[in-house]
Amino acid sequence: MAEFDVDLFVIGGGSGGVRAARIAANYGAKVMVAEEYRMGGTCVIRGCVPKKLFVIGSHVHQEIEDAAGFGWSIGQVSFDWATLVANKDKEIARLEGAYTTNVEKSGARIVKTRAVLEDAHTIGLAAGEKVTAKYILIATGGAPNHGPAVPGIEHVISSNEAFHLKELPKRIVIQGGGYIALEFAGIFAGYGSDVTVVYRGDNILRGFDEDVRKHVRTEMEKRGITIITGCTVAKVDKHGRDFTTHLSNGSSIASDQVMFAIGRHPNVKGLGLEAAGVAINPANGGIQVDGWSKTSVDNIYAVGDVTHRTNLTPVAIREGHAFADTVFGKRPVQVDHATIPTAVFSQPEVGTVGLTEEEARAQYSHVDIYKTDFRPIKATMSGRDTRVLMKLVVDGSSDRVLGCHIVGDAAAETIQAIAIAVKMKATKADFDATVALHPTAAEELVTMRTPTARHVRQAAE
């Protein structure tokens, strides 16, 4: 009789857990996956995928406006929010089915139930059933965090509910200044809502390059989005179907929806971590792991947002794959969390990889900046008042490109390719030696010859 019921028990059917389960099963492991909600996790069900679908749809309004400059006369148009939501739901259901099928095809078994650790090798399921596992992987992701409770917090929605609203809000207040807040600000504005963003910091997109932050804010404000910084929501009052949002600066805003997007916290509550001896990282509230994604308990691992390391779907997938390779493939793999490209599907779009100018100047003695800000070719005929930002951060001593930051159409698509060069430690000379592809916005990345700034850190006396 086997010592354990399964070789691997995965808690969470999101991107990281599914990848780990499939790869481990392919190596011959007996695998069980527990998912209490829907297969696919945050990204597929209520994150990146439905968000990107909403973003794509919200661009259509701008495309119609821009068409006149190219000779198109487009008559009366209308938009139906309910159709958008219904079609999105169909696509998410299809993807959920694909995730389920792929796990089952690999030979792993899915149980649709909550799973709680009882000790280092025992998992309790619904109706008192217990499963023992040689290894356990926790991949329960994260959840929206509304922060400190304010009066009227019960009236506030998160990004989860935003995907299922019965109707498009005419006016919406969004608290937050990061990925989710700005993406939804662009989405709602694109479909015709009056949008106000409230953020406690001095400017949106904390942690991004300062030039990116300024450029995105300027462009969003050009598109009619109101951005209020240095301020927080102090109270939300409900009057019938409408709301009054009271701000910390004493002002108030009327709307028919209020959304908080001020961050996410790791999904660690009620998992039985204490019973199993799994430690929480006091610095970020996520499950504490080492470079191999191993927790404080030798046979228990954790990947993805539940660790609160780098909360991006491709990172969770890479971590889940590396875990399976290491433990079941006997092929030790560590994930390199440096130089990870990321995008914000705001409007305008942001794509970035590597160091910001501020980070580079703190780490390197000589930093050269190459930056351009220009009107894209489409705007010359559409008449739209918009500009693209492109920026390279270069080590002035070695000529290595340390970071690239783009704001504008197709920024994410462009940065994926640039990330390969940055990861390979390409130099500015390598960029310069690459022939430009004309006419594109991206050709600016290989035609910027003169630094716009050079920084030399003075040695301490």
CATH of the domain at 451: 3.30.390.30
Q: Are 195 and 255 in contact (CB under 8 A)?
A: no
On the question of pLDDT at 272 being above 80, the answer is yes
- Report if residue 124 sits inside a domain: yes
Whether residue 295 sits in one domain with residue 205: no
- Report if residue 219 sits inside a domain: yes
- The model's pLDDT over 91-146, given as tens digits with 9 standing for 90+, comes to 999 999 999 999 999 999 999 999 999 999 999 998 789 999 999 999 999 988 88
Q: What's the token pair of residue 136?
A: 């356990």
Whether residue 178 sits in one domain with residue 238: yes
Q: How confident is the model over 211-220, as a mean pLDDT?
A: 98
Residues 6+ apart with CB under 8 A from 438: none
Whether residue 163 sits in one domain with residue 132: no
Whether residue 101 sits in one domain with residue 18: yes
Question: pLDDT value at position 460?
Answer: 47
Q: Are 377 and 439 in contact (CB under 8 A)?
A: yes
Whether residue 182 sits in one domain with residue 43: no
Whether residue 357 sits in one domain with residue 391: yes
Indicate if 438 belongs to the active site: yes
Residues 6+ apart with CB under 8 A from 293: 301, 302, 303, 307, 319, 322, 323, 335
CATH of the domain at 231: 3.50.50.60
Q: Which domain holds residue 354?
A: 348-455
The C-alpha angle 430, 433, 435, rounded to 5 degrees, equals 125
Q: Which residues of 350-382 are buried (b: 16+ CB within 10 A; e: fewer)?
A: bbbbbbbbebbbeebeebbbbbbeeebeebeeb
- Report if residue 336 sits inside a domain: no
Domain count, the chain: 3
Confidence of residue 459 (pLDDT cuts 50, 70, 90): low
Domain boundary among 327, 357, 373: 327
- Of the ranges 36-40, 216-220, 352-356, 396-400, which one carries the lowest mean pLDDT score? 36-40
Strand partners, 252: 246
Question: pLDDT value at position 228?
Answer: 98
Domain boundary among 262, 296, 312: 262
Whether residue 101 sits in one domain with residue 67: yes
- Report if residue 287 sits inside a domain: yes
- List the one residue out of 324, 330, 354, 375 whose CA is nearest residue 419: 354
Whether residue 283 sits in one domain with residue 258: no
Question: pLDDT value at position 1?
Answer: 46
Q: How confident is the model over 148-154, as a mean pLDDT?
A: 91
C-alpha count within 13 angstroms, C-beta hemisphere, residue 95: 22
Q: How confident is the model over 449-461, as a mean pLDDT?
A: 82
> Which letter does DSSP use for residue 170 in this model?
S
Domain boundary among 262, 282, 300: 262
- List the one residue out of 316, 299, 320, 325 whose CA is nearest residue 136: 299
- Report if residue 139 sits inside a domain: yes
Q: Rounded distance, CA 174 to CA 323, Å?
A: 37
Q: Are 139 and 63 in contact (CB under 8 A)?
A: no
- Report if residue 340 sits inside a domain: no
The rounded mean pLDDT for the chain is 95
Going through 112-165 in order, the beta strands assigned E by DSSP cover 116-117, 122-124, 130-138, 142-144
Whether residue 249 sits in one domain with residue 306: no
From the list 146, 155, 246, 438, the catalytic residue is: 438
- The model's pLDDT over 395-445, given as tens digits with 9 standing for 90+, comes to 999 999 999 999 999 999 999 999 999 999 999 999 999 999 999 999 999
Whether residue 194 sits in one domain with residue 159: yes
- Report if residue 382 sits inside a domain: yes
Q: Rounded distance, CA 60 to CA 190, Å?
A: 8
Whether residue 89 sits in one domain with residue 139: yes
Whether residue 376 has a cis bond before it, omega within 30° of 0: no
Q: How confident is the model over 158-175, as a mean pLDDT?
A: 95
- The model's pLDDT over 345-376, given as tens digits with 9 standing for 90+, comes to 999 999 999 999 999 999 999 999 999 999 99
Q: Are 233 and 176 in contact (CB under 8 A)?
A: no
Whether residue 168 sits in one domain with residue 256: yes
- Report if residue 418 sits inside a domain: yes
> Which letter does DSSP use for residue 441 in this model?
S
Tell me the whole-structure pTM to 2 decimals: 0.94
Q: Rounded distance, CA 41 to CA 13, Å?
A: 6
